[in-house]
Structure 1
Amino acid sequence: MSTLADAWAWLTDPAHWSGDGGIAHRLTQHLVLTVVCLLISCLIALPVAVVLGHLGRGGALAVNISNVGRAVPTFAVLVLLLLTPLGRYGEGPTVVALVLFAVPPLLTNAYVGIRGVERDAVEAARGMGMTGRQTVKGVELPLAMPMILTGVRIAAVQLVATATIAALAGGGGLGRIITAGFNLASTPQVVAGAVLVAVLALLVEAVFALAQRFGPRWARVSAA
């Protein structure tokens, strides 16, 4: 229990919250990195999933290919990217590695959501003379939105937990607190950094869960 008590003392020390290396600054860096990677991942995965789901062609192959990325450790991808010319561009390798990590749940959930829309609803829309784009926008997307947001929720939580690898490439974020703790042989600091990441991931999960439970009707899921 002494380690946990020391970690709590480290967390509650005001001196550790201020400055460029303080918790507040590292937390901001972590959140910015997570949001940027999540947005890029959504811009890549969601349009592909929606189009393939609407057409009903090639989706299974795309999902399987994207899921292959789950078998490759994100850290291994980051190391390989650091050895390429991309390694010269600051946070570039980290962003690419995290985006590749976040794409599979986004692509899978969005595709399954679109394909799961009742075919009767789609056929009714077509019978009313709606174009493919109008059907996607007016029927398929609204009905698939809870499933799509579930994918976004999963990706966001995974990114929060995995963004600590940015510290290994010289980037910012809460991972820097953990690596600094290892360098100083400070177990309380390492534990404190790990607790911060875990708490942040749980908070992100809770925010998405509440949004899906009590948010707009189109975003709700029946039960979590």
Structure 2
Amino acid sequence: MSFKSLIAAGSLGLAALAMSTVASAEEVFDAPVAARQASETGLQTAIFAGGCFWGIEGIFSHTRGVTSAVSGYHGGTANTANYRQVTTGLTDHAESVRVTYDPSIVRYDQLLQILFSVGADPTLHNRQGPDRGAHYRTAIVPTTTEQRAVATAYLRQMGRSGVWDDPIRARIEDYRRFYPAEDYHQDYMLNNPNSGYIRRWDAPKVEALRENFPGLYRSRFRTG
């Protein structure tokens, strides 16, 4: 069971003890500005996976131009799209966030830069922070041909950038169907600011967004 699952189940003491044995939260990376910028008009939708969806949703909820950020599951089937089964690691789902955004304010390539700067370490395989399992993999799920082209170019650029010492392991996955997570997962950071997990692992990501992307940060939490 992941640290997040322990907290969701109410096992705060056990989770706190386990957290004391893990390394510090993910570092902030200087992900490069995309050489290929997205060219899109009108509201667009993208899907990102990068470990626990609480933190990824929190980051994009604080990003200017994002009109909706919804936590959910992507990659598996409808009958396994629930927290109990996904957290076994035995489904094909990844904890994911569906982001709706206005490209006149924030481009798709900028969302990718944010994700890999403050949201997820792209060199890790099936894990982020204290959480382990295939459902915590880091993946980009393009919903348009333009997004796929930009994401492909950006992953290649990341690999050549020298920012990361290890190989880039984030991957592009084909869009299947996105299933919104249970209600209690939505706006989790907003509704649980004093959660030990949020304070330890996810609130620092939002602070890093504010510090590193001041022009794209907004303080008002945008709910999904």
Q: Greater RCO between the two (CA within 8 Å, min separation 6)? A: 2
TM-score w.r.t. the length of structure 1 is: 0.29
TM-score w.r.t. the length of structure 2 is: 0.29
Whichever structure has more strand as a proportion of its residues is 2
* Structure number with bigger Rg: 1
Whichever structure has more helix as a proportion of its residues is 1
